[in-house]
Structure formats: C-alpha cells, structure tokens
Structure 1
Amino acid sequence: MEATDDSVNSQVTQIHHLAAAGEKMVERLRKKAFLPDRRKALNVRLGIAEVARLLGCSTNRIRMAEEDGRLPRPEDGSRRAGYTIEALLNMRTVLNASKHRHSSEAPAIIAVQNFKGGVGKSTVTVHLAHYLAIQGYRILVVDCDSQATTTTLFGCNPHFDVTRDQTLYPYLSVASTEDDLNYAVQKTPWPNVDLIPSCLELFDVEYELAATNATGQGILRDRFRKLRDGLQKTAHDHYDIILLDPPPALGMVSLSVMQAATSLLVPLAATTPDFCSTVQFLSMMDQIIEAMAMAGIKPAYDFIRLICSRYDNTDPSQSMVIRVMEETFGPSLLPVPIFDSAEISHAALRMMSVFELEAPIGAPKTHKRAKQNLDESLSQVEALIRHSWARPASIEEAIAHVG
C-alpha cells in the first residue's frame, strides 16, 4: 500500500515537531545544569598536593611563596578550599613553570577527526582542551561541525545562543565579510581556553564551497588555505594549541580542516564496526590527500595518531579488538586508551567534562579512576605536541613516563 501525499507530509511535519521539542529539552537541561544564572561557571578547586604535582615543585615551595608575598594567601586563610585554575596559572608565572610555546615554535593545530559518528570525537576534543588548560597551555577550540556538540559541551545552546555570524561562516563564506577570525572568538569559563562556536547554519558553507568547486580549483584552493592562514594568524600571539572539531563526514569544511591542521588525532571505539569504519576512513584520507596534492594542496602533519576513545576493559570482545588495533596500527595507536567511564557520561549530561566536576557524580572511586585515566591518556597527546616543539628530547621517554 502506497503512502498518500497527506501521510508523507504529516511525517515530514513530525520532524519539525521532534526538532522543536528536542531544542526545548536541551534548554531545560542547560538551565538545570547552570542555575541560578544559566551561565556555566568553573568552580573546580585543586588541592596543594595536586597543584605541586602539576607545577613540578614541592608543596613547601608554594607555601614559602605565599609566606614571602610572591603568591597571594588562600582566600579563606587556609588551603582546605583548594586553588582555582586562575590561581594555578598565576603560580606558573610566579614560579617560572609556564608551558607556553616559545616564540620560535609554531602553534600546534590538531584536528580530532573520524568520519565515523559515535566515537566520542567531541568528548575527546573538550576533555583534551581542559586537560591541556590545566597543564598551563593557551587553548583555542574551533567547532567546525554544524551539529555543534562541542559548542554544547562548553555550555552554549547552539540553537538559542549562537548565530551564523558568530561561527566560521562569515570568514569561510564565498562572500566573506571578515578578514580574520578574531570576531568569532569567545571566552569560556576557563581563563586560558577560548572557543569559536558553531550552529546549524554553518552548514551553509558546505553548499557555497561545493558550488565554488564547480567554477575552478584555483578558487577552491584559496578557500582551503584561508582557514589555515586565519588560524595561524590568530594563534601567533595568543595561543599555544588550537583544537579543531570537524564534521564527521567528508565535505568542504572537513577538507579545509585537513589542510589547516598540523596534526591529526583519530578517535575510535574498541568495536569491530568502528575498527572497520576507521580503516575505510584512513583509506579515504589517503586518496583525498593524493588528490589534494595533484591540485597543489599539500597537507603536512607533525604527527598522526589513533586513540581508542571508548574502551571497556571488562568486555572480552573489546580486549580482542584492542589487540587487533595494536597489531594493525602499531606505534601509531596511542598505548593508553580512554575508558568508557560512567563519570564521563555523568559529566556530559551536565554539559561538562570530568575536569570541570566539583565533586564525583558517581562513586568517588569511579571518578578518581576516570580522571587518572584521562590524565594518562591525554598526556600522550601533550607529549607528541611537545616533541613537535623539540621538547622533551625523547617522545618514547615521555610516553614511558606516562605508562
């Protein structure tokens, strides 16, 4: 029995109702998470022992700096409340423990890319941004995906809070109205993490660049280079690392991201479908890079690494897939995977990362294990970045220290 026009139209209308209902629920969740003023705040505090570990110094050195006035005394007269991220960054400056890149070193521009959805691409991007921020780097996160999951995890509702003119669109559009990316940079609750947000209307760039492709490769080549040039210009004096979250599909924006990035981080889950999909992604990347080179567009990367982004080490089938991945990808697969932790899911429900939680949501042991795993896993990426800056001398030494 064939569907009538009226029944088809009613189903199309249902899509509109579902989308509207979903947007309202996202806003309700955001209000609940960020009461009373609906603005996300960073309330995390770090104990003196953790701060000393991050600074690579003794707790006594911090106490002495507070006693002699180089560092402010704790607000409440004691150290029980812990230190804010702002205080930690100030300590890095005062105690000469800054991790900023040298002026002679190029900013690291890392694309977290896989054409397979559901691999935790945005979750990895946000956790990596917050991990690197705690380490003291200046970070810019660029949401290049019109689905705007990363924007949402930063506490913005892309439907209500972000317009097309606040995204990459005015810069990448064929009828560009911006010469640099400074107009789109927004502050976040993290003092050393900024964001260029996204929203659904960013997808308009895909149509425009696709149409441009039909008019000549020279114009398209210039468009691909424009994102790279804009990011490098923006990062030159303000950022150490830029993290790009591209769309989970091959398109003009994804190609621009591939050209702009200096490194690629490929997340994948420990399942057979994800493994097979990632193999297809890598094959497609190989073909794309070859085609881009023939068109005079030649990406160059400091590193390309895969990271298992969702791993349940209690599942025998996933342990088997991990072994297959290790055999297939060798050292290109980072040795410490990110565990599929309930604490990450709990944090995501609140539009946060685990690093933003003031206290454990689930069991304290689960929270501690998740945070320790994220530190170990994401420090592997930090080691790769520093190796590209010629610091430290040995990447193997750094990863061995992590393990």
Structure 2
Amino acid sequence: MSSNQRNDGEIGATQFAEAERIGQLAEAGELMVERLRKTAFLPGEIKGLNVRLGVAEAAQLLGCSTNRIRMAEDDGRLPAPPESETGRRLGYDIPALLNMRKVLGASPQRAPEDPPAIITVQNFKGGVGKSTVTTHLAHYLAVQGYRVLVVDCDSQATTTTLFGFNPHFAITREETLYPYLSIEPTQDDLSYAVKHTAWPNVDLIPSNLQMFDVEYELAATGTGGGNVLASRFRKLRQGLAELAQNYDVVLLDPPPALGTISLAVMQAANALLVPLAATTPDFCSTVQFLSMLNQVISQLKEAGIRVEYDFCRLICSKFATNDPSHALIQSLMEKTFGGALLPVPMLESAEISHAALRMMTIYELEKPVGTPKTHKRCRNNIDEAMGQIEQLIRRRWGRVESEPSALMMAAG
C-alpha cells in the first residue's frame, strides 16, 4: 500500500471519527441542559413561580388605589397576603393578583364576541430574539391578566425550554403538534397537547427535535400532493382557531426558516410580529424576509389559502443605547418602515441575559440579578415595549386607551 493510500485512509478514518463526535457532543450538551434546568428550578425539578408584588404595584396593575385593595381585605372579599414571622406582609403572588382582578372587576379579558388574537412572532433569520420576545410577551400579558396560549412550533424548542420543560428528556413527539399535523394523524384536535405552566393563566403546546419530522413528511407530500399540504395548512388554522376560544391571546413561535411549518403558521395567525436586531445584517435579512413573505402570500392566495392579518408590526428586539451603530440602524428602520416599526425597542440588558441563564424572563425574577437600578430600567422598558403590542390587541377589540402620540402612529 502506498503512503498516499495510507494517508487517505487515515484521513478518512479521522473524518469519520470526527463526525461520530457530533453525537457525543449533542449528548453531553443535553445532559448539561438538564443539569442547568435542575439547578435553576431548585428545590424541586419543576419550574415554579415565586414572584410577589407589593400592594402599590398590585394597585398600579389593577388601575385602582391601594385603599381599595385594603378595604376588600378588611371586609373579607380578598384574603390578606401571608406574613413573615415578624409580621411583615410578604406580598401577593400571581394567583392572588388574578383573584384580585376577578373580585374587583379589573379583568382585561376579551368579551365572548371579541376574536382571540393569534400572533405569529416570525422572522426567517435566527438570533433576532424571537423566543425572547415570545416568552416576555406571554409573561407580560399574564401579569396584565390575560389568558395566554403559547405554541412552540420550532424543533429547536427554545421557548419550551424557557417555560421549564426539557424538550429532550421531558417531551415526547406525541406531546407536540406532530400527532395532529402528521400525514397519518392520531389526533383530531389540539387539546391533547396543551400543558399547564408555572403561570396559572399561561398554557403551552411544547416542541422538541422530533417536530422536524413534520417538515420531512409535509415537504415530501408537497412534491406530489399539494392538496394534502393545503389540507394540513387549513387543519392547523382550524385547530388553533378552535383552541383559541379558551384564551385571549395565542402566541405562535415558528422555525426561523421558510419551511412547511412556517408557512402553515403564517396562514394560521391573524397578526404578525417581526423581531429584528439593530444591525445591518439583521436589517438586510428582514427586508429579504418581508420580500419573500410577500411572494409566499401571493402564491398561497393563488392556491386558495387566505392569509389575513389584523396588524403587522416590526419590533427592534436587541437595542444597545450606548452603541452609535444601533442608533443609526434604528433611524434607518424608522425611515424605511415608518409606523409599522413599533417606536419602543427592547433594550439589550444584562438582566435579560441573567434571567435567561436561569431559564426565566424578567417577569420571573424574584429579585434583581444585577443592581436594582438596572433591573428597574429593564423592567420598565420591557413593560413599555410589550405594552405597545397589548394596545394593538385591545384596538382589535374596540378598546382604545389613551396612548403616547408615537404609539398612536405605530398602531394606526
């Protein structure tokens, strides 16, 4: 055997060994994710919600005075919050806050005749904060008192992980959208997949890596059976519309790529939210996404599949106030997209990063991770940014509160 043949054989064996290492890396990574999950959710392995609010914050959220809450406690309509051993009031948890809304008539929930908002948070570029926007919006709406369903349609399952479920160890394919969307479905409606989360008014349909099987099946069918593909599109739209009757808002988190699931989600929604970061590559890719989206909608229309949105908005999801290039790109966005760009961006913050490390959002932190000032600035920004989307939802129901002039421009 020549030296060249030996070298080729050695190289081939090395390449094969390196390819095999991918599986080892994936397994090691999954075990580490599970360790992080257990550490983040101690003392138990199930994610809990330990946030408590003072009476002033509760009153602000309910739009009433602190005196009204205390009077309701005095006359027995509301239970007083628990106290510490020293008699200090520990504050209200989220279930107590929801009960307050019910007792004091401060629920924002839609009327039976109001259509649920089904919002897809979509961009074909990864790394734009799609799952971060989805989970923060879900938790913001939960704090405000809305009933929320989050549907994770992405096989990467980042949103599922943020809600405290390990997609590799804890979620099976039968618990995802797969049994409903597969070519040989075993479920006729989506109720089987709904899971309760740590939030009493937020439910989740989880995802995992096996959701990609739907992509394979539908893509294969699409090459020679467009009618089957179209029927699956209609089926997801119908299933979500039926399930949405139990909620005020449904948030859809599709894959960051143009595939059959993304197309199905796109036409199942009645509103579109596009997150993008304040960088030139993200701006350019989002322009391409919008152009591609326009073409796809036209093609779906020709195929008899309707795509109708009550609102289409873009939100800058990662904005650094101390970066001049971000300010430049934001100005470019404003000139390009006008009122379709929501005026308040989500700021880049160490608090969000620290919360994500604990598999949480800013709304789940019991106390600031960094300085109280940084936490407060971050929380105020997220409240304002998510509040813009809440106002768009409420406008859809004919409930328009007074808004800042910039927000009125965005919502018009």
- Give the aligned residue type for 1:133: A
Please, what TM-score do these two structures have when normalized by structure 2? 0.95
Match of 1:151 among 153, 160, 163: 160
After superposing the two structures, state which structure 1 stretch, 73-82 or 39-48, moved more.
Answer: 73-82
Match of 1:235 among 234, 241, 244: 244
Alignment of 1:2-401 (within 5 A): 4-76=11-83, 80-236=89-245, 238-392=246-400, 399=407
User: Aligned partners of 2:256 and 2:355: how far apart in 1?
Assistant: 22
Please, what TM-score do these two structures have when normalized by structure 1? 0.97
After superposing the two structures, state which structure 1 stretch, 246-255 or 219-228, moved more.
Answer: 219-228
Structure 1 residues 217 and 102 mapped into 2: Cα distance closer, same or farther (>3 Å)?
Answer: same
User: Aligned partners of 2:271 and 2:143: how far apart in 1?
Assistant: 21
Partner of residue 3, structure 2: none
What percentage of residue pairs aligned between the two structures are identical?
65
CA contact (8 A) 1:108 1:385 kept: yes
User: Aligned partners of 1:215 and 1:48: how far apart in 2?
Assistant: 61
User: Aligned partners of 2:260 and 2:238: how far apart in 1?
Assistant: 16
User: Aligned partners of 2:207 and 2:403: how far apart in 1?
Assistant: 34
Structure 1 residues 282 and 398 mapped into 2: Cα distance closer, same or farther (>3 Å)?
Answer: closer
Shift in Å, 1:398:
9.2
CA contact (8 A) 1:383 1:398 kept: no
CA contact (8 A) 2:109 2:147 kept: yes
Q: What do residues 207-253 of structure 1 show as CA deviations (whole Å, max 9, x unaligned)? A: 111111123322211110111111111121x2110000000000000
Find runs of 4+ consecutive structure 1 residues off by over 4 angstroms: 393-398
Structure 1 residues 79 and 111 mapped into 2: Cα distance closer, same or farther (>3 Å)?
Answer: farther
Structure 1 residues 87 and 28 mapped into 2: Cα distance closer, same or farther (>3 Å)?
Answer: same
User: Aligned partners of 1:45 and 1:395: how far apart in 2?
Assistant: 28
CA contact (8 A) 1:115 1:250 kept: yes
User: Aligned partners of 1:219 and 1:199: how far apart in 2?
Assistant: 24
Shift in Å, 1:319:
0.5
For these two proteins, the number of residue pairs brought into alignment is 402
After superposition, the CA RMSD in angstroms is 1.8
Structure 1 residues 64 and 344 mapped into 2: Cα distance closer, same or farther (>3 Å)?
Answer: same
Shift in Å, 1:394:
7.0
Shift in Å, 1:14:
1.2
Shift in Å, 1:270:
0.4
- Give the aligned residue type for 2:172: T
User: Aligned partners of 2:326 and 2:96: how far apart in 1?
Assistant: 41
User: Aligned partners of 1:357 and 1:96: how far apart in 2?
Assistant: 28
After superposing the two structures, state which structure 1 stretch, 73-82 or 87-96, moved more.
Answer: 73-82
- Give the aligned residue type for 2:330: I
User: Aligned partners of 2:338 and 2:205: how far apart in 1?
Assistant: 34
Gaps of 5+ in 1: none
Q: What do residues 253-293 of structure 1 show as CA deviations (whole Å, max 9, x unaligned)? A: 00000011010000000000100010000000011001101
Structure 1 residues 318 and 173 mapped into 2: Cα distance closer, same or farther (>3 Å)?
Answer: same
User: Aligned partners of 1:168 and 1:333: how far apart in 2?
Assistant: 31
Q: What do residues 162-215 of structure 1 show as CA deviations (whole Å, max 9, x unaligned)? A: 000000000011100000111000000000000000000000000111111123
Structure 1 residues 95 and 140 mapped into 2: Cα distance closer, same or farther (>3 Å)?
Answer: same
User: Aligned partners of 1:323 and 1:401: how far apart in 2?
Assistant: 16
User: Aligned partners of 2:201 and 2:315: how far apart in 1?
Assistant: 25
Structure 1 residues 42 and 311 mapped into 2: Cα distance closer, same or farther (>3 Å)?
Answer: same
CA contact (8 A) 1:47 1:79 kept: no
CA contact (8 A) 2:59 2:66 kept: yes
Q: What do residues 9-35 of structure 1 show as CA deviations (whole Å, max 9, x unaligned)? A: 111111111111111110111111111
User: Aligned partners of 2:306 and 2:357: how far apart in 1?
Assistant: 40
User: Aligned partners of 1:143 and 1:293: how far apart in 2?
Assistant: 25
Q: What do residues 112-148 of structure 1 show as CA deviations (whole Å, max 9, x unaligned)? A: 0001110110010000000000000000000000000
- Give the aligned residue type for 1:60: N
User: Aligned partners of 1:177 and 1:294: how far apart in 2?
Assistant: 30
Shift in Å, 1:39:
1.0
Q: What do residues 99-119 of structure 1 show as CA deviations (whole Å, max 9, x unaligned)? A: 111110111000000011101
